Structure 1
Amino acid sequence: MKIGVVGLGSMGYGIAASLLRAGHEVVSADVNADAVKRLRAEGGSNEDIAAAAPKLDALVVVVLNAGQAEEVLFGKDGLVGWLPGDAVVMLCVTVAPDFARSAAQKCAQSEVLFLDAPISGGSVKAAQGKLSIMASGTPEAFIRARPALDAMAETVFELGDTAGAGSAMKAVNQMLAGVHIAAMAEAITFGMTQGIDPETFINVIPRCAGTSWMLENRAPHVVSGDFTPHSAIDIWPKDLGIVLDAARASKFAAPITAAALQQFLAASGMGLGREDDAAVAKVYARNAGLTLPGAGN
């Protein structure tokens, strides 16, 4: 397939690389010209994505948020209007279910297929082509997207024939993931107040009932003092904001999610927004007068 990928961040770049490895032709776009240049050096197409749009079989959108997705797809230079009628748009961004439904309707008006396809698994699994994808869309959209899905994902959950279901499931996942990261940060710093150093924490807790995938993935970042962003702090005010907006619309109380959001907002307010989301531990450390491992913490 000839596939466009818009957004070459930590997840998007891995997706593009996995598509290339599977033998697809990949045309890319990103505000970071160096990322595009790097992908082209690794075998990506040298075509401009706007020029390539009328020839694309699929367009994978992995930008930061709904606003960026709206601009890429339907803005002044939106790509949907240039795609051929049998192309499929795969929206991999974490967005509100209502946005996914609206995007599907707009694509249908242009006779373009649409798959609501948020992703999970982190940058490592994206690079390995082993993501989990929570997808919903018409049977025709699934059929058209299948070669790309096979290259990107280890598991594709088919959640129905209507856009919005995939994004709803992603909201549930993000509720848990955000809470688990904040809980990890709280637990690892609480342990420090009790004389348990972070390294001992990660040697013990992953073998006990209190563990989680997020704890096992993020706690080592705290221990190493390396907060190079694989998933940044500033992602969580957006994602947990989507969760709480949906909860509010359903008159559903989500107090634990709200408490986790406040910790990420505090971290962002401390200037940590571009650091790895495990840096939320610095909020707890600051408040408790603790010194985390690693220089500058």
Structure 2
Amino acid sequence: MSQDNQQSLQVGVIGLGAMGMGTASTLHQQGFDVTGCDISAEARDAFAAAGGKSVATPAELAHCHIVLVVVVNGAQAEQVLFGEQGVVSHLAPGSLIIQCATVAPSQAKQLGERLSAVGVMFLDAPISGGAAKAKSGELSVMASGAEDAFTYGQPVLDAMAAKVYRLGDAPGVGSSMKLVNQLLAGVHIATAAEAMALGIRMGLDPDVIYEVITHSAGNSWMFENRVPHILSGDYTPLSAVDIFVKDLNIVHQTGRELSLSTPVAASALQQFTAASGAGFGRDDDSSVIKVYQRLSGIELPEAANDHQGA
């Protein structure tokens, strides 16, 4: 798509959190006319400061041709689409909703049916890669929907993602694939925390554990990515504990719908739930290791400023 055509395509991004802000900023930098939407004045001001336009309610995105929904959960997706200030009733027929939040496949199917009934196209398109990949336009998108929806949304998808997986022509398939990813991601984070806790409890140096495991068969992407947060004692949320409480609950719910047992995911869910219950829900998901600290008294690395202040 030419720069002029990109500028003529009005794009809305609902949800200016870590992923939404990065995606909106990337699209703006790629030449799209982007309006961000968030209930937080601070988030709106941050996007405006970067040169974008911002509004407080989804209904104010009526002018948009394509609207990305990058909210926290299915309830929020429902609200911003069909609630009192929802965007759908204000959109022109032929507009496109790209739903990026992690929701149950059954909900994704329902959203697609409701949008089709009012003449709005829909892509079930969960995203993965974290805030850094969103900011650099290198997300992975797991998408399903009709061919015409893919064709219409392709310029935006290409700008925000390093890889767009076209998984089928019906909503629900994209969300199904995201659940597979989230099951693995959640289990790997919880397992990384347990492995580190075991090593520390046995008296091993945490930095040495990381060095050895990242060069051994027991390594995983999540171990390599999250354990440095533990080593630095920095639990600033890049992805919060409560995200995996939500996502692994969706895995559990979907497994029940399918009469499929997911015992390993259930165990990881219990650890994240315990971390949330202990007050770490909004901390980085690597803080699930603090459950083991509470149970066994292991000594975790502290942040540099904690040492300085001691």
Instruction: Give yes or no for contact 2:59–2:86 (8 Å, CA) kept in 1.
Output: no
CA distance, structure 1, for counterparts of residue 29 and residue 123 of structure 2:
22
Instruction: Give yes or no for contact 2:27–2:159 (8 Å, CA) kept in 1.
Output: yes
The answer to whether residue 229 in structure 2 is matched with residue 228 in structure 1 is no
- In structure 2, give the amino acid aligned to 1:99: Q
Instruction: Give yes or no for contact 2:39–2:56 (8 Å, CA) kept in 1.
Output: no
Cα distance 1:13–1:46, how it changes in 2: closer, same or farther (>3 A)? closer
SS in 2 for 1:37: helix
Instruction: Give yes or no for contact 2:44–2:54 (8 Å, CA) kept in 1.
Output: no
SS in 2 for 1:136: strand
Q: How far apart are residue 50 of structure 1 and its match?
A: 4.8
Instruction: Give yes or no for contact 1:26–1:44 (8 Å, CA) kept in 2.
Output: yes
2:196 to 154, 164, 188: 188
- In structure 2, give the amino acid aligned to 1:284: Y
Please name the residue that 1:281 is paired with: 289
CA distance, structure 2, for counterparts of residue 49 and residue 189 of structure 1:
44
Please name the residue that 2:3 is paired with: none
Instruction: Give yes or no for contact 2:37–2:54 (8 Å, CA) kept in 1.
Output: no
Moved more, 21-30 or 38-47: 38-47
Q: How far apart are residue 195 of structure 1 and its match?
A: 1.8
CA distance, structure 2, for counterparts of residue 54 and residue 63 of structure 1:
18
Please name the residue that 1:18 is paired with: 26
Cα distance 1:204–1:117, how it changes in 2: closer, same or farther (>3 A)? same
Cα distance 1:48–1:254, how it changes in 2: closer, same or farther (>3 A)? closer
Over the aligned positions, Cα root-mean-square deviation in angstroms equals 1.4
Please name the residue that 1:59 is paired with: 67
Q: How far apart are residue 48 of structure 1 and its match?
A: 5.9
CA distance, structure 1, for counterparts of residue 139 and residue 67 of structure 2:
17
CA distance, structure 2, for counterparts of residue 203 and residue 72 of structure 1:
45
* Match runs of 1:9-158 below 5 Å: 9-46=17-54, 50=58, 52-158=60-166
CA distance, structure 1, for counterparts of residue 12 and residue 57 of structure 2:
7
* Match runs of 1:174-185 below 5 Å: 174-185=182-193
Cα distance 1:13–1:47, how it changes in 2: closer, same or farther (>3 A)? closer
Q: How far apart are residue 201 of structure 1 and its match?
A: 1.5
CA distance, structure 2, for counterparts of residue 170 and residue 118 of structure 1:
6
Q: Please, what TM-score do these two structures have when normalized by structure 1?
A: 0.97
Q: Please, what TM-score do these two structures have when normalized by structure 2?
A: 0.93
Please name the residue that 1:247 is paired with: 255
CA distance, structure 2, for counterparts of residue 246 and residue 184 of structure 1:
25
CA distance, structure 1, for counterparts of residue 67 and residue 149 of structure 2:
12
SS in 2 for 1:28: strand
4+ residue runs over 3 A deviation: 46-52
CA distance, structure 2, for counterparts of residue 32 and residue 79 of structure 1:
17
SS in 2 for 1:157: strand
CA distance, structure 2, for counterparts of residue 232 and residue 247 of structure 1:
23
CA distance, structure 1, for counterparts of residue 193 and residue 78 of structure 2:
34
- In structure 2, give the amino acid aligned to 1:85: P
CA distance, structure 2, for counterparts of residue 32 and residue 48 of structure 1:
8
Instruction: Give yes or no for contact 1:98–1:164 (8 Å, CA) kept in 2.
Output: yes
Could you list the runs of 5+ residues in structure 1 that have no partner in the other structure? none
Instruction: Give yes or no for contact 2:134–2:160 (8 Å, CA) kept in 1.
Output: yes
Could you list the runs of 5+ residues in structure 2 that have no partner in the other structure? 1-8
CA distance, structure 1, for counterparts of residue 296 and residue 37 of structure 2:
44
Q: How far apart are residue 54 of structure 1 and its match?
A: 3.0
